[in-house]
C-alpha cells in the first residue's frame, strides 16, 4: 500500500502555490501527481478587454521572473501581423534586456538549487550577485522587475551611450562572480554526489514530452528559439547553443551556468554595436494594426514562450493564446521523479525551474469519444456537492 | 504595556502566503532575506508554519481557489497576528482585479494592518513598511 506525501500548496520549500502528491512505498517514489489552479488569474480573457498598448503591461505580469519574454513574444507576434521591422537600435536594446533577464533568472535558480541541496551559502551568494543585475535594470528601465520596455514597433526607453560603461563594469563583476559560483558548484564533491545520476531525462523522454529550454538542452536536444527561429538581434551576433549530454540535475546546472557566459558575451557584442547606432532611433510609429493572425516566439530563461493573437482591425485582440515553457516541462516530472528516493525527487522537481504563474490555465472535462466539453471547474464542483447531498438524503431515508 | 504590544515586542517571525501572484513580490520578499537587505538583523525570519508566526505577509490577487485557504490560515494563526498586504495586487487586486476568478483583495477576506503598494515594492519598501507597522503600536 503506497503512502501519499503531499508537498504544498503553501509549503516553505516553494515560492508559488502548487500541490504535489508523491505516492511512496517506503522511501521510493512510485508515482507523482500535481494540482495547480491556485494561481489562475484569467489573463487570456483579461487580454481581450485591453488595448494593444495595455496588453504589454498585462503579459509582463504573467510571470515576474521572466517578465521580458512574454512582452517579447507578444511584440514579435504583433509585428508579424502589422508586417513591420523594428529599427536596429531597438533590436539591440531588446536583446540586451532579454539577456540581462536570463542572467538574473539563472542566478536565481542556482541560488534556489543550492537552497534545496542544503547549501545556503550558495543561495546567499547567488542572490547577492544577482543584485547588481537588478540595479542595472533599475538604471535602464526604472524598475527592478517588470520593466515595461516593449511596445509595438520598438522600445519605450533608450539606453544612452553614457550608460554603456556602467553596464560593462557591472557585467565584468557578474562574470567574475559567476566564475566563483561555477567553481564552487563544478568542483564540489558533495554536489557531484548529490546531483549526478539524479532525475535523468533521456533524449527520448524530452522528445516524447515535448520539453523545451535548458531542460531539453541538458539532455542533448539542441532546441533554442533564438537559434531555430531567430528574432531581434540574435542573428546579428555570435553565440552558440549550450548543450550537455547526461540529462541529470548536474547537467541542468551546467547548462544554466554556461548559458550565463553566453549571455554576457551577447550583451557585450550588442553594446559595441549600440555605440555605432544613432541615439534615439528606438521605435517606428504604428498607427493601426490590420486584421489578421500572428504567432510569436521568444526564448525565456525556462524555454520557449509562445503567443498567438487574432485581430479584427480594432484596438483589442479578439483571441490571445499563451503557452509558457513550464507547461510542457512540468509533465516531465513523471519520468524524472518516479523510482527515486523522496529527497532526490524534490531536487528533480526544482531542477526543471518550474514557473507556475506562467502555466495556470482553465480546466475542463472533455468527453473522450466525442471530444465535447462536458464540465468546467465550477460545474465539477457543483456535481461533487450534489453527489454528497444525494448521499446524505439516502442515508437519512434509510434511517 | 498591553497584551498586543507585549506580543510584538521582540523578534517577529514571518509567514509568507503567495496568492495568485506573478512571483515578483515573492522574490522581492525572499530578497529581503539575502545579504544586501538582511532582514534577520531585525530578528525577523521566514517560518514554515503559520502556527509559529507573528506576521502574515500576503501578496498577489486572491482567486476563488485561494480564498478558502487564506481564511483557513488566518483562523489557524495564533492571535494576535499582524497581516501585511504586499504589492498592488495584495492591496487592491491591481491589474487582475477585473479577472473572472478574482475573489476580492486581501482586506475583503481578512483584516489587514498594513499595506505596502508597488508593482513590485522594492525590498527597501517592504522593510520600511514592516518597521513602520512595528513603531505604530
Query: Any idea which residue has 505577509 for its cell?
Result: B57
Give the nearest partner residue to A146 out of B98, B101, B120, using CB atoms. B120
- Confidence band, pLDDT 50/70/90 cuts, at residue A252: very high
Alpha carbon of A46: minimum distance to chain B alpha carbons (Å): 6
Q: How much is the pLDDT for A58? A: 92
CA diameter of chain A: 88
Q: How much is the pLDDT for A300? A: 92
Q: What is the average pLDDT score of chain A? A: 85
Calpha distance A113→A351 (Å, rounded)? 7
Mean pLDDT of B77-89: 91
Q: What is the pLDDT of residues B44-81, one digit of tens each?
A: 888 888 899 999 999 988 988 888 889 989 999 998 89
Q: Determine whether the interchain pair B99/A17 forms a contact, defined as Cβ–Cβ distance below 8 Å.
A: no
Q: Is the pLDDT of residue A385 over 80?
A: no
Domain ranges of chain A: 42-359, 366-398
Q: Which segment of A258-267, A277-286, A309-318 scores lowest on mean pLDDT?
A: A277-286
Q: Determine whether the interchain pair B99/A46 forms a contact, defined as Cβ–Cβ distance below 8 Å.
A: yes
Alpha carbon of A267: minimum distance to chain B alpha carbons (Å): 24
Give the nearest partner residue to B23 out of A16, A37, A43, using CB atoms. A16
The answer for residues whose C-beta is within 8 angstroms of residue A135's C-beta and 6 or more apart is A170
Residue A212 phi/psi, 5-degree rounding, is -135, 175
Q: How much is the pLDDT for A352? A: 77
Calpha distance A242→A249 (Å, rounded)? 15
Q: Is the pLDDT of residue A151 over 80?
A: yes
Q: How much is the pLDDT for A370? A: 58
**Is residue B120 reached through a cis peptide bond, with omega within 30 degrees of 0 on the bond before it?**
yes
Residues of B in contact with A58 (CB under 8 A): 95
- Confidence band, pLDDT 50/70/90 cuts, at residue A320: very high
Q: Is the pLDDT of residue B18 over 90?
A: no
Select from B19, B24, B46, B122 the residue whose CB has the most chain A CBs within 10 Å, as the one to mutate to test that interface: B24
Q: Determine whether the interchain pair A145/B31 forms a contact, defined as Cβ–Cβ distance below 8 Å.
A: no
Whether B101 contacts B130, CB under 8 Å: no
Angle in degrees, CA A3, A4, A9, rounded to 5: 165
Q: How much is the pLDDT for A363? A: 46
Q: Determine whether the interchain pair B27/A64 forms a contact, defined as Cβ–Cβ distance below 8 Å.
A: yes
Mean pLDDT of A205-217: 91
Mean pLDDT of A117-123: 83
Residue B50's CATH number: 3.40.50.12280
Residues of B in contact with A144 (CB under 8 A): 28, 120, 122
DSSP string over B12-28: -EEEEEE-B--SHHHHH
Q: Is the pLDDT of residue A39 over 50?
A: yes
A260: enclosing H helix or E strand: helix A249-276
Q: How much is the pLDDT for A48? A: 92
- Confidence band, pLDDT 50/70/90 cuts, at residue A373: low
**Residue B108 counted as domain residue:** yes
Calpha distance A394→A398 (Å, rounded)? 6
Q: How much is the pLDDT for A13? A: 60
A18 φ/ψ sector (left φ>0, alpha ψ -120 to 50, else beta) = beta
Residue count of chain A, please give it.
Answer: 399
Architecture of domain A42-359: Orthogonal Bundle (1.10)
A157 φ/ψ sector (left φ>0, alpha ψ -120 to 50, else beta) = beta
Half-sphere CA count of B30, side-chain side, radius 13 A: 25
Q: Is the pLDDT of residue A12 over 70?
A: no
Give the nearest partner residue to A41 out of B35, B101, B119, using CB atoms. B101
Q: How much is the pLDDT for A360? A: 56
- For residue B46, the chain A residue with the least C-alpha distance is A12
Calpha distance A37→A352 (Å, rounded)? 19
Calpha distance B77→B70 (Å, rounded)? 11
Residues of B in contact with A40 (CB under 8 A): 20, 63, 65, 101
Report the percent of chain B where pLDDT is more than 90. 33
Calpha distance A211→A303 (Å, rounded)? 8
For chain B, the straight-line distance linking the first and the last C-alpha, in angstroms and rounded, comes to: 10
Q: Which segment of A171-185, A235-249, A356-370, B85-99 scores lowest on mean pLDDT?
A: A356-370
**Residue B3 counted as domain residue:** no
Calpha distance A259→A13 (Å, rounded)? 26
Mean pLDDT of A27-44: 82
Mean pLDDT of A28-46: 83
Mean pLDDT of A331-342: 83
Q: Determine whether the interchain pair B102/A65 forms a contact, defined as Cβ–Cβ distance below 8 Å.
A: no
Q: Is the pLDDT of residue A146 over 60?
A: yes
Q: Determine whether the interchain pair B69/A10 forms a contact, defined as Cβ–Cβ distance below 8 Å.
A: yes
Alpha carbon of B126: minimum distance to chain A alpha carbons (Å): 14
Residues of A in contact with B20 (CB under 8 A): 17, 38-41, 357, 360
Structural domains of chain B, count = 1
Q: At A225, list the grid cell.
A: 528559439
Q: What is the pLDDT of residues A59-97, one digit of tens each?
A: 998 888 888 999 999 999 999 999 999 999 999 999 999
Mean pLDDT of A127-155: 91
**Residue B74 counted as domain residue:** yes
Whether A108 contacts A257, CB under 8 Å: no
**Residue B1 counted as domain residue:** no
Calpha distance B46→A251 (Å, rounded)? 31
Q: How much is the pLDDT for A145? A: 87
What is the domain range of residue B24? 12-136
What radius of gyration, in Å, describes the C-alpha atoms of chain A? 23
**Residue B5 counted as domain residue:** no
Residues of B in contact with A12 (CB under 8 A): 46-49
Q: Is the pLDDT of residue A375 over 50?
A: yes
Amino acid at each position: 500500500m503506497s503512502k501519499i506525501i503531499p508537498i504544498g500548496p503553501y509549503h516553505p520549500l516553494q515560492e508559488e502555490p502548487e500541490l504535489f502528491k508523491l505516492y511512496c512505498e517506503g522511501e521510493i517514489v512510485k508515482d507523482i501527481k500535481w494540482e495547480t489552479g491556485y494561481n489562475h488569474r484569467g489573463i487570456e480573457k483579461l487580454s481581450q478587454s485591453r488595448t494593444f498598448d495595455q496588453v504589454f503591461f498585462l503579459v509582463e505580469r504573467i510571470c515576474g521572473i521572466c517578465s521580458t519574454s512574454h512582452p517579447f513574444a507578444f511584440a514579435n507576434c504583433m509585428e508579424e501581423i502589422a508586417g513591420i521591422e523594428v529599427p536596429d537600435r531597438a533590436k539591440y536594446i531588446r536583446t540586451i534586456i532579454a539577456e540581462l533577464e536570463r542572467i538574473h533568472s539563472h542566478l536565481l535558480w542556482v541560488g534556489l538549487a543550492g537552497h534545496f541541496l542544503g547549501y545556503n551559502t550558495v543561495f546567499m551568494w547567488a542572490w547577492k550577485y544577482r543584485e547588481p543585475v537588478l540595479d542595472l535594470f533599475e538604471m535602464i528601465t526604472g524598475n527592478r522587475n517588470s520593466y515595461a520596455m516593449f511596445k509595438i514597433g520598438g522600445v519605450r526607453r533608450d539606453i544612452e551611450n553614457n550608460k554603456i560603461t556602467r553596464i560593462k563594469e557591472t557585467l565584468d563583476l557578474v562574470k567574475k562572480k559567476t566564475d566563483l559560483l561555477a567553481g564552487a558548484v563544478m568542483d564540489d564533491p558533495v554536489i557531484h554526489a548529490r546531483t549526478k545520476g539524479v532525475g535523468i531525462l533521456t533524449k527520448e523522454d524530452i522528445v516524447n514530452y515535448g520539453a523545451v529550454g535548458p531542460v531539453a538542452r541538458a539532455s542533448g536536444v539542441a532546441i533554442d528559439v533564438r537559434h531555430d527561429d531567430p528574432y531581434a538581434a540574435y542573428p546579428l551576433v555570435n553565440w552558440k547553443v549550450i548543450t550537455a549530454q547526461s540529462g541529470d540535475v548536474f547537467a541542468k546546472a551546467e547548462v544554466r551556468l554556461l548559458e550565463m557566459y553566453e549571455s554576457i558575451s551577447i550583451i557585450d557584442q550588442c553594446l559595441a554595436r549600440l555605440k555605432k547606432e544613432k541615439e534615439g532611433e528606438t521605435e517606428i510609429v504604428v498607427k493601426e494594426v490590420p486584421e489578421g493572425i500572428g504567432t510569436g516566439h521568444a526564448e525565456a530563461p525556462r524555454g520557449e514562450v509562445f503567443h498567438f493573437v487574432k485581430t479584427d482591425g480594432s484596438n483589442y485582440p479578439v483571441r490571445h493564446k499563451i503557452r509558457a515553457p513550464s507547461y510542457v516541462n512540468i509533465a516531465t516530472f513523471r519520468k524524472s521523479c518516479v523510482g527515486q528516493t523522496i529527497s532526490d525527487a524534490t531536487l528533480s522537481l526544482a531542477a526543471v525551474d518550474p514557473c507556475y504563474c506562467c502555466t495556470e490555465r482553465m480546466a475542463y472535462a472533455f468527453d473522450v469519444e466525442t471530444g465535447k466539453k462536458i464540465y468546467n471547474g465550477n460545474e465539477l464542483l457543483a456535481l461533487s456537492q450534489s453527489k454528497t447531498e444525494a448521499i446524505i438524503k439516502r442515508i437519512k431515508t434509510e434511517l | 504595556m498591553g497584551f498586543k504590544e507585549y506580543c510584538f515586542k521582540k523578534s517577529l517571525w514571518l509567514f509568507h502566503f503567495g496568492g495568485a501572484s506573478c512571483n515578483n513580490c515573492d522574490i522581492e520578499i525572499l530578497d529581503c532575506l539575502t545579504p544586501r537587505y538582511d532582514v534577520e538583523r531585525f530578528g525577523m525570519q521566514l517560518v514554515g508554519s503559520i502556527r509559529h508566526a507573528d506576521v502574515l505577509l500576503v501578496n498577489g490577487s486572491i482567486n476563488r481557489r485561494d480564498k478558502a485557504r487564506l481564511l483557513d490560515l488566518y483562523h489557524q494563526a495564533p492571535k494576535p497576528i499582524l497581516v501585511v498586504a504586499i504589492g498592488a495586487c495584495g492591496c487592491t487586486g491591481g491589474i487582475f482585479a477585473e479577472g473572472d476568478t478574482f475573489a476580492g483583495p486581501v482586506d475583503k477576506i481578512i483584516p489587514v494592518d498594513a499595506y505596502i503598494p508597488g508593482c513590485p515594492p522594492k525590498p527597501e519598501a517592504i522593510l520600511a513598511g514592516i518597521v513602520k507597522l512595528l513603531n505604530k503600536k
